[in-house]
């Protein structure tokens, strides 16, 4: 969808439907912000009150208004002014978009100023667009209920008393954020035979071309030169060769910080020789959700032209059992020079991330964030609503917490101390890839920390819980959630501010 600010007024616009957000007042709907839009259409108040519409959050009601040029108004409740939140605005935008979906019509969205809620016009517009785009996203290519032909192709926004320039900025930000999120979802939802490591690299290259980033892909020959035994080891049981994908800013302002994002790109995780049980193994097509998130974030950062030197690294492999596959007791030589004893081939994410983190740190970054569907333990501990965050930089962890609070992709800190690192010492190699079953998310992070020099500000985000949802919700269908793309882009924005 395209979003544009309209210069017209309600009286002159060619439209068949006006979407009208309404706050919930103490007694009935609060119309102070919206009535000015109607300029000369005083009947609007009577219509809203007559319909018995209260403005309760995410409620919608279409009403026929023969007195208005557009004929139909879709009332959308924002809830009480003091209870409005960023996520609430997204959900309201989503509810409005879903309600208007079946109306094949020229739609105009009224965007009154919501100053009483404490949110400025830019923020309201941004969240609204994000919510609408996320709610309307298809579950897959053949999702008829949410097909492309539905709903208006262009959304016109009528600023009313709000600041048109601020709304325009908000619309652009929202479109960009939603694009990154939906791109991440699309990649996660692709079947694993249509998204091998090579195909993921092709997708990354196409995205890089679209948004103006440089893309390089290292295949097995180059990975051998890097001695990237982690990526090569995990990939060696598959017909589909592993790779390391790198997206980089083409240019950056002088003095701009370097931020590295690293995302786990296991295009399918069978567990390898330590084979997973069959039940729900299909969900392991989503084991590249970290990769999808960092690629989506890179696309947002690039389209927003943030002043940063961004380095995005995606180690990608298919984890398969095979005559050539790695097996428990193998020892791998990693790119950093460390040796790793493989005790469980299903703990593969940390092996490929280790090499990618080593390469990332070679770029002398000011901040490194990796994102991965790394452990079932993290999902057990924190559930679907929270990702776990661990790392070596309190500042970076706080930035991620703030960013997630704003984007509605929440992260929760988990501990990482020397004892967790000690637990990974091996008798036959420097470290082993398996710790105790208890605290599995923590030892996974501790493993990664061996590949990040002490002086690098690093955080690891485990998204095993929130990357996928079985339930269709107000902001999207069952499937990949796109979790992390908007979060990381916002974190980058906070870091360069």
Residue among 248, 287, 406, 493 that touches Zn ion (CB under 5 A): 287
CA distances in angstroms from 172 to 96, 134, 408, listed in the order given:
19, 15, 19
Q: Report 446-475 residues binding ligand BES (CB under 6 A).
A: 464
Query: Of 221 and 279, which CB lies nearer to ligand BES in the complex structure?
Result: 279
Binding mask 80-109 for ligand BES (x = CB under 6 A): ------------------------------
Distance CA 203, CA 224 (A): 23
- As given in the structure block, the two tokens for residue 475 are 């902001």
Q: What's the closest the beta carbon of residue 220 comes to ligand BES, in angstroms?
A: 21
Catalytic residue among 90, 350, 486, 490: 350
Q: Report 343-402 residues binding ligand BES (CB under 6 A).
A: 344, 346-349, 373-377, 379
Q: Are 205 and 199 in contact (CB under 8 A)?
A: no
Which position has the token pair 């992260």?
A: 411
Query: Of 211 and 441, which CB lies nearer to ligand BES in the complex structure?
Result: 441
Give the residue from 389, 387, 380 showing the smallest Cα distance to 445. 389
Q: Report 254-273 residues binding Mn ion (CB under 5 A).
A: 269
Active site residue 285: no
Q: Is 9 in a helix, a strand, or coil?
A: coil
Q: Find the angle CA(336)-CA(338)-CA(339) to the nearest 5 degrees.
A: 135
How many residues bind Mn ion (CB under 5 A)? The answer is 3
Q: In degrees to the nearest 10, what's the CA dihedral of 98, 103, 106, 109?
A: -30
Catalytic residue among 45, 80, 198, 276: 276
Q: Report 260-279 residues binding Zn ion (CB under 5 A).
A: 266, 269
Q: Is 449 in a helix, a strand, or coil?
A: helix
Query: Of 24 and 348, which CB lies nearer to ligand BES in the complex structure?
Result: 348
Which position has the token pair 């079946």?
A: 102
Report phi then psi at 100, rounded to 5.
Answer: -85, -5
Q: Does 192 bind Zn ion (CB under 5 A)?
A: no
Active site residue 350: yes
Neighbours of 474 (CB within 10 A): 16
Which position has the token pair 């193998």?
A: 330
Binding mask 313-332 for ligand BES (x = CB under 6 A): --------------------
Would you give the DSSP letter of residue 462? E
Q: Does 346 bind Mn ion (CB under 5 A)?
A: yes
- As given in the structure block, the two tokens for residue 117 are 């809620």
Query: Of 189 and 373, which CB lies nearer to ligand BES in the complex structure?
Result: 373
Distance CA 334, CA 233 (A): 9
Partner interacting with residue 152 (select from Zn ion, Mn ion, ligand BES, none; CB below 5-8 Å by kind): none
- Point out which residues bind Mn ion (CB under 5 A): 269, 346, 348
- Point out which residues bind ligand BES (CB under 6 A): 269, 287, 344, 346-349, 373-377, 379, 434, 440, 464
- Would you name the residues annotated as active-site residues? 276, 350
- Point out which residues bind Zn ion (CB under 5 A): 266, 269, 287, 349
């Amino acid at each position: 969808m395209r979003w544009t600010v309209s210069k017209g007024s309600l009286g002159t616009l060619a439209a068949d439907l006006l979407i009208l957000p309404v706050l919930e007042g103490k007694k009935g709907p609060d119309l102070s912000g919206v009535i000015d839009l109607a300029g000369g259409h005083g009947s609007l108040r009577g219509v809203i009150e007559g319909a018995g519409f209260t403005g309760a959050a995410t409620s919608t009601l279409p009403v026929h208004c023969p007195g208005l040029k557009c004929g139909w108004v879709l009332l959308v409740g924002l809830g009480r002014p003091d209870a409005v939140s960023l996520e609430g605005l997204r959900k309201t935008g989503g509810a409005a978009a879903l309600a208007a979906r079946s109306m094949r019509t020229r739609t105009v969205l009224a965007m009154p100023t919501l100053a009483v809620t404490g949110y400025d016009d830019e923020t309201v517009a941004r969240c609204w667009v994000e919510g609408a785009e996320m709610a309307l996203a298809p579950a897959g290519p053949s999702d008829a209920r949410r097909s492309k032909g539905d709903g208006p192709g262009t959304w016109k926004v009528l600023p009313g008393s709000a600041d048109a320039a601020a709304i325009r900025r908000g619309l652009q930000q929202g479109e960009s954020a939603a694009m990154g999120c939906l791109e991440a979802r699309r990649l996660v939802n692709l079947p694993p035979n249509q998204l091998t490591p090579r195909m993921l690299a092709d997708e990354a290259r196409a995205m890089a071309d679209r948004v103006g980033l440089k893309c390089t892909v290292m295949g097995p020959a180059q990975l051998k030169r890097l001695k990237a035994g982690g990526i090569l080891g995990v990939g060696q049981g598959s017909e589909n060769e592993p790779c390391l994908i790198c997206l980089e800013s083409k240019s950056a302002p002088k003095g701009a910080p370097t931020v590295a994002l690293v995302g786990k790109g296991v295009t399918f995780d069978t567990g390898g020789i330590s084979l997973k049980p069959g039940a729900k193994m299909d969900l392991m097509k989503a084991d590249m959700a970290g990769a999808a998130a960092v690629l989506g974030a890179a696309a947002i950062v690039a389209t927003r032209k943030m002043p940063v030197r961004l380095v995005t690294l995606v180690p990608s492999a298919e984890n398969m059992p095979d005559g050539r596959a790695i097996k428990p007791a193998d020892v791998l030589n990693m790119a950093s020079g460390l040796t790793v004893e493989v005790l469980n081939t299903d703990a593969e994410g940390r092996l490929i991330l280790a090499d990618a983190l080593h390469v990332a740190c070679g770029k002398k970054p000011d901040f490194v964030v990796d994102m991965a569907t790394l452990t079932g333990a993290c999902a057990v501990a924190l559930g679907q609503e929270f990702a776990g965050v661990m790392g070596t930089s309190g500042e970076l962890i706080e930035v991620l917490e703030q960013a997630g609070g704003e984007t509605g992709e929440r992260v929760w800190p988990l501990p990482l101390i020397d004892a967790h690192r000690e637990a990974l010492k091996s008798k036959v190699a420097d470290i082993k890839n398996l710790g105790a079953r208890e605290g599995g998310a923590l030892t996974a992070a501790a493993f990664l920390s061996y590949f990040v020099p002490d002086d690098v500000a690093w955080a690891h985000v485990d998204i095993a819980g929130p990357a996928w949802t079985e339930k269709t919700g107000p902001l999207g269908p069952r499937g990949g959630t796109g979790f992390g793309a908007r979060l990381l882009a916002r974190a980058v924005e906070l870091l360069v501010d």
